[in-house]
């Protein structure tokens, strides 16, 4: 140790001399291990070229900490707030949003986190119940507040959040129920996902939840939620709510005794997700891990792009809000051996508060976003915000998706690539890691490895690059940096890195 330190010091003394040379070498080779943050100011500067972000004025003098967004007929948008107000906005789609008109529909409900419109009513997942709000006398204000289901436990703890989805194809609403204080299950069904039927029946659907930030379905109707870093979550992630599954956090397991739900697994702390989920077939691993501190710190709302190109070339990809970093991340999913997995990329940034709900207008391609930073800090510094984002029609140069192969990955780009740079293995860098699966709060990155990209083959149309990789690690996050790859015009990628969660390695 001591000897090593001395050697190290001696080498450091030479550093200034060698530094310039090293820099030059790195530049020449377009060294892939760039330290440039993919979500940094350079990416933000380009954002206006591709997407238009507009802050919509909220009702003057009102505290509008947006917690839910619903789309109404006639281009109206309803928002709910953490204080429990429901407002209806007219003009949110207009070019000039300074003329939006707000009408208060309901007041002081219990922290609604999930809202949709159906059959003339607004449905809200409030903290204690799922509720239908109707304006029966047509005066623009809700007067009927019908309790559809109130069968989960709450005990007065501020952390017992309930996030509700839009209805699925059977009309069921999926509700993910945060643990008590995010550590405990002091009330029934905390740490569970339940489905609420239109008749108000509650169906326990998955165990193993910690602290959700949002819930939403993909184009197939499979339901996903975001879960935040903490106990049993080494990092935050996007998780697939396969009915009957265990999502990884055993704190709420005891509620299974209240129904005929089979007892969920009691996993071993200090292990790895892969090890434990191979013991327990009902343990569905996170579809895509959002590495803590690198991708974000606190994922929230979920929207799937089913706009048929109106939101950009991202058909069926998932867009996830990020509370702490005030960003939206982009995720491509695929199914391998019956499990969802895929890659997350940085996407949009610069929002004005910590993001919570996101809602895509699938017809129009407008993404509505709401935020609040009360109680949890965020990069966006306003106390609350309501925003809209639209695609401007210029396709950014991006890794469209990363797809796993038996011996590596196939990366699809949004522009035809320059064959010279995209075919050079030196322009790709891969590193892998995972987290300790443990009852403690979070985890360091562990079990790091450095696979080798052996070949990079560009497809005839220039849109795909097949990477043959030596050293794929099942269960690990594979961090791919493609900094040196250029399109035919010689442009660099808008965002040069992605993190692929390799739950399963496909067979040949």
Residues 300-329 that bind another protein (CB under 8 A): 324-325
C-alpha to C-alpha distance for 399 and 409, rounded to whole angstroms = 12
Sheet harboring 76-81: ordered strands across?
66-72, 76-81, 86-90, 101-106
97-116 positions binding another protein, by CB under 8 A: 107-111
Q: Cα–Cα distance between 386 and 92 in angstroms, integer?
A: 10
Nearer to another protein, 182 or 218 (CB): 182
Find the binder of another protein among 2, 6, 15, 96 (CB under 8 A): 15
395 in contact with another protein (CB under 8 A) = no
Q: Which is nearer to another protein, 151 or 310 (CB)?
A: 151
Tokens of 433: 């890691």
Residue 426 binds to another protein (criterion: CB under 8 A): no
Residue 196 phi/psi, 5° resolution?
Answer: -110, 120
Contact between 477 and another protein by CB under 8 A: the answer reads no
Of the two residues 278 and 440, which places its CB atom closer to another protein in the complex?
Answer: 440
Q: Which helix (H) or strand (E) holds 174?
A: strand 173-177
Q: Measured from the CB of residue 164, what is the shortest distance to another protein in angstroms?
A: 16
For another protein, give the closer residue by CB, 245 or 298: 298
Minimum CB distance to another protein, residue 23 (Å)? 9
Binding another protein by CB under 8 A: which of 44, 94, 99, 144? Answer: 144
Q: How far is the CB of 77 from another protein (least distance, A)?
A: 23
Site for another protein in 456-475 (CB under 8 A): none
Interior/surface letters 39-72, b for 16+ CB within 10 angstroms, e for the rest: beeebeebbeebbebeebebbeeeebbbbbbbbe
> Please, which of residues 155-174 interact with another protein by CB under 8 A?
155-156, 158-159
Residue of the chain from 6, 17, 27, 45 that contacts another protein (CB under 8 A)? 17
Residue 156 beta carbon to another protein: minimum distance, rounded to whole angstroms = 5
Query: Whose Cβ is closer to another protein: residue 156's or residue 490's?
Result: 156
Cα–Cα distances in Å, from 4 out to 9, 12, 57?
A: 9, 12, 60
Among 185, 320, 343, 399, binds another protein (CB under 8 A): 185
Binding map of another protein across residues 330-369, x = CB under 8 A, - = no contact:
------------------------x---------------
Distance CA 334, CA 240 (A): 12
60 binds another protein (CB under 8 A): no
Residue from 58, 67, 125, 126 touching another protein (CB under 8 A): that is 126
CA distance 284 to 266: 14
Residue 502, C-beta contacts closer than 8 angstroms, at least 6 positions apart: 341, 404, 432, 472, 473, 474, 475, 476, 477, 478
The 8-class DSSP code of residue 421 comes to: H
Say whether 344 sits in a helix, a strand or coil. strand
Of residues 235-274, those binding another protein (CB under 8 A): 254-255, 257-258
SS3 for 439-471, per residue? CCECCCEEEEECCEEEEEEECCCCCEEEEEEEC
Q: Which residue is it, tokens 């291990």? A: 33
Judged by CB under 8 A, the residue of 34, 54, 103, 145 near another protein is: 145
């Amino acid at each position: 140790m001591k000897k090593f330190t001395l050697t190290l010091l001696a080498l450091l003394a030479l550093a200034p001399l060698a530094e310039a040379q090293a820099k030059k070498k790195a530049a020449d080779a377009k060294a892939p291990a760039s330290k440039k943050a993919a979500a940094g100011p350079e990416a933000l500067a380009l954002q206006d070229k591709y997407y238009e972000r507009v802050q919509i004025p909220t009702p003057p003098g009102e505290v509008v900490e947006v917690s839910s967004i619903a789309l109404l007929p006639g281009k109206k948008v309803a928002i709910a707030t953490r204080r429990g107000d429901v407002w209806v906005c007219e003009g949110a789609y207009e070019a000039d949003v300074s003329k939006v008109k707000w009408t208060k529909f309901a007041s002081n409900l219990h922290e609604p986190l999930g809202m949709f419109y159906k059959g003339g009513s607004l449905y809200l997942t409030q903290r204690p119940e799922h509720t239908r709000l109707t304006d029966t006398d047509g005066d623009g204000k809700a007067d009927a507040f019908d309790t559809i289901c109130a069968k989960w436990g709450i005990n007065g703890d501020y952390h017992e959040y309930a996030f509700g989805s839009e209805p699925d194809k059977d009309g069921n609403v999926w509700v993910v129920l945060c643990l008590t204080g995010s550590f405990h299950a002091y009330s029934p069904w905390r740490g569970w996902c339940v489905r609420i039927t239109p008749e108000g029946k509650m169906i326990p659907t998955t165990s193993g939840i910690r602290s959700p930030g949002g819930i939403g379905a993909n184009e197939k109707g499979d339901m996903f939620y975001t879960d935040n870093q903490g106990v049993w979550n080494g990092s935050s992630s996007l998780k697939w709510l396969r009915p009957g599954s265990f999502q990884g956090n055993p704190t709420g397991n005891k509620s299974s005794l209240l129904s005929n739900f089979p007892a969920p697994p009691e996993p071993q702390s200090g292990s790895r997700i892969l090890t434990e989920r191979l013991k327990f077939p009902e343990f569905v691993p996170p579809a895509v891990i959002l590495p803590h501190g690198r991708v974000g710190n606190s994922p929230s709302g979920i929207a799937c792009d089913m706009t048929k190109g109106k939101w950009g070339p991202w058909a069926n990809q998932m867009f996830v809000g990020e509370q702490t970093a005030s960003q939206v991340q982009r995720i491509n999913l695929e199914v391998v051996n019956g499990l969802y997995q895929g890659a997350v990329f940085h996407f949009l940034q610069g929002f004005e508060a910590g993001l919570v709900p996101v809602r895509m207008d699938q017809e129009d391609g407008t993404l509505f976003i709401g935020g609040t930073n009360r109680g949890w800090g965020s990069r966006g510094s306003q106390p609350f915000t309501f925003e809209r984002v639209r695609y401007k029609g210029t396709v950014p140069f991006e890794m469209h998706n990363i797809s796993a192969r038996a011996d590596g990955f196939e990366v699809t780009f949004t522009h035809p690539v320059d064959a010279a740079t995209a075919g050079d293995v030196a322009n790709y860098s891969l590193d892998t890691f995972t987290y300790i699966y443990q009852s403690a709060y979070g985890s360091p990155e562990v079990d790091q490895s450095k696979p080798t990209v052996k070949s990079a083959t560009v497809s005839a149309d220039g849109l795909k690059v097949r990477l043959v990789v030596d050293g794929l690690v099942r269960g690990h996050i594979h961090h791919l940096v493609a900094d040196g790859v250029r399109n035919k015009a010689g442009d660099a990628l808008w965002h040069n890195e992605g993190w692929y969660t390799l739950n399963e390695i496909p067979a040949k």
